[in-house]
Structure 1
């Protein structure tokens, strides 16, 4: 199967304007932009035919081309990363069997998260899309809860059935648990990792569906699939000791830089 990775990136983020160009300092003291770190994460995935940055902003285009990325300019009308992936696919004169959306705010995404996702969607032809989930430890869960208490929208959580079909995604911390967990203890809460794998026909259908009330309320693009009865698989991935966090707010910059330092990642 030919796989395309698309990294959607927009400058005019409501919560954090200019986020793709924010500099993140690694363990060696070298700074790279968020979009470059996300691109390098995508480039490390094996078995991929092509990686592109998809944007509608010339500032991001220039920055990405300067560090060697393949850039596809997309419509300013794209409402989210999934729509931008669909738009980019339509502008590429090539065919692919699977499209992976590695969102431009997830620079700590290990290659094996994406490789496991691709393998799972290959093995489940009935699914329209698949997305990774990571069981939180107490430290990660406490970070989620701290964000919510401070009125910040942090990461997204996912709940799914015994068949691994997604039931719901939320920016609230679900399922509710009243327990307190040690930093290294496993919890029943799953962090949704900002990566998706789609079949091209599922992307085409997505563009035709209207934004539903749940997607509108939560601001989560993947809910459009669930609201229209499409199957989304949740693929549990193993962190293998790696820390994972997405850059959603300015407060996440020092958190991610601390993780880069702790994991000795340049």
Structure 2
């Protein structure tokens, strides 16, 4: 089954304008834009036939072409990354069995997260969309709780059935837990990793649906699939000693740079 990775990159983010071009310093001292680091993460995934950046902004297009990425121009009217992936897929003429949305704010995404995601969707024929979830350790959960106390929207959490079909995603920390966890403790909370794998039919249908109340309240694009009765598979992935965090707010830059330094990410 052929696989296309699309990296949606929008300049006009309400929370962080110009976010794809924000720079991150690696452990070696190299400074690269967020979108370049996300593109390099995508290129490290095995079994992928093509990687493109989908944007509506000439500044992002110019920056991406400078480091060698293929760019697809899409409409500024796209409401989220899934809509942008759907448009990019159409612009490219289709022809792929699985489309992966590797959002441009997740440069720490390990290759095996995406590889496991694609494998999970191939195996679960009932699912039309798949997305990774990562069990939080105490350090990650405390980071979520600190963000919420500070009034920041941080990462997203997920709850799912025993068959790993999604029940809900939220920017609040769900499920509720009153326990205190040490940094290395496992917790009952799962961090939703902002990557998606779609079957083309589901991706094509998505663009024709209006956003429902849950998507609008949470600001989470994947809830549109659930509000329209589509099965979303949560694929549990392993950290393997790696740290993971998305760049959601300017305050996340030093946090991610510290993680990159600790892991030796160049």
Same fold (TM over 0.5): yes
Distance in 2 separating the partners of 1:12 and 1:108: 22
**What SS does the corresponding residue of 2:16 show, helix, strand or coil?**
coil
What's the offset of the Cα at 1:149?
Answer: 0.1
Residue of structure 1 equivalent to 2:201: 201
Give, in angstroms, the shift of residue 93 of structure 1: 3.1
Residue aligning to 1:34: 34
C-alpha separation between the residues in 2 aligned to 1:86 and 1:30? 33
- Give a deviation string over 1:87-139, Cα, whole Å, max 9, x none: 00000035000000000000000000000000000011211100000000000
For residue 162 of structure 1, what is the aligned residue in structure 2?
Answer: 162
Gaps of 5+ in 2: none
The answer for the alignment partner of 1:173 in structure 2 is 173
Instruction: For 2:158 and 2:110, locate their aligned partners in 1 and report how far apart those are by CA, in whole Å.
Output: 19
Matched residues, number: 266
Q: Which residue of 1 aligns with 2:99?
A: 99
* Aligned counterpart, 1:72: 72
Q: CA deviation at 1:208?
A: 1.3
Structure 2 counterparts to residues 200-239 of structure 1, below 5 A? 200-239=200-239
**2:249 match: secondary structure:** coil
TM-score by length of 1: 0.99
**Which residue of 1 is the match for residue 122 of structure 2?**
122
Q: Distance in 1 between matches of 2:19 and 2:210?
A: 27
For 1:52, the equivalent position in structure 2 comes to 52
> What does 1:143-154 align with in structure 2 at a 5 Å threshold?
143-154=143-154
Q: Does 1:132 align with 2:132?
A: yes
Q: CA RMSD in A?
A: 0.5
Identify unmatched segments of 5+ residues in structure 1: none
Tell me, in whole angstroms, the C-alpha distance in 2 between the residues paired with 1:99 and 1:123: 15
Q: TM-score, normalised by structure 2?
A: 0.99
CA–CA distance in 2 between the matches of 1:229 and 1:16?
32
